[in-house]
Amino acid sequence: MIGAQIKEFFRPVWVRIVTPIFAFVPLYDAFDSQFGFPKLGKLFGASGNLLPWWGWLLVLQAVLVAGLFDYVRRNVPVQAPLTPALPSAETDQFAQKLELVRVDGEINKADLAKLKAQVEKQHGRVLHSLHAIGAREDMFELEAKLEADAETLYAKLNLGGSYDQAGWFSWENVNANWEANLKHWLTLARFYVNGIESKVLDVSEQEFSNSIWTINDSQFPNADANRRFKRHRLIYGHWDAMRGMANNNVTRVAFTAADEAEVRMSNSPEPSWRP
């Protein structure tokens, strides 16, 4: 029995070749000087033995261990794990229970996904609501400034007064401040009215010619100043026509948790104001 196992151990060609080599080489390396043979270390450029005796034993041990693993791989059968055999009826019941668990799990996953989507949507609405509350206050504050500056820009001309070049320079300074505040207001309002920037700022040539103006050219230092004033009044009219919708929409988002995107895409009529 043992002889058969040893024979099986040495059956691979590489074991039969490598084992004798690593059994003979250490003996030669250890005793070559005793018999006047050339030293093995000198063949590889070493001054003494190629390896100490215990080093050769480690190499031989590695060869034998590798051969042993190969022997086990070839001769020890791999047994399948034992599974208790269930009666057919119990197997069917077990399969049904597993299927119910699987179905319940899928339903729970779907419910959790819906719940997660609802929570994320509600969370987004809360954030939009908080943003809208701040935006609403800023928009109201800007509207007060816009109204005050617009009154300043129109008051003198509305009373029949006129501007010289120096006076018009002051008008331009106030108008620049008015336009900066309007730009800020539009930056806030664009979240609540779709396309409000173009609806307020775009001015067509027809509006210049079709509008009824109560001012005349003699009130301005030049034609460009006249056109600048008219453009300001047309933009003011666009803004005045749109701000009601913007205020209504931002209030809805702020205090009723309305969806910002739905509010923004709601009806946005073109401005109908005329000077």
Q: Cα separation of 225 and 168, whole Å?
A: 8
Condensed to tens digits (0 to 9), the pLDDT of residues 52-69 reads: 666 767 777 777 777 777
- Determine what percent of the chain is predicted with pLDDT higher than 90: 37
The structure tokens 């401005």 sit at 271
H/E run at residue 134:
helix 88-158
Phi-psi region of 98 (alpha: psi -120 to 50; beta: other; left: phi over 0): alpha
Which tens digits make up the pLDDT trace of 173-223?
999 999 999 999 999 999 899 899 999 999 999 999 888 898 999 999 999
> Given a cut of 50, is residue 275 above it in pLDDT?
no
Contact 29, 51 (CB under 8 A): yes
DSSP assignment of 31-92, as one string?
HGGGTTPPPHHHHTT-SS-SS-HHHHHHHHHHHHHHHHHHHHHHHSPPPPPP-PPPPHHHHH
- In this predicted structure, the answer to whether residue 151 has a pLDDT above a threshold of 80 is yes
Does position 146 have pLDDT exceeding 70, yes or no?
Answer: yes
Cα–Cα dist 252/24, whole Å = 95
Helices (H) and strands (E) in the chain, counts: 10, 0
Nearest Cα residue to 104 out of 96, 114, 93: 96
Selected residue with higher pLDDT from 3 and 50? 3
Is pTM beyond 0.75? Reply is no
Q: What is the pLDDT of residue 259?
A: 74
> Would you list the domain boundaries of the chain?
2-75, 122-264
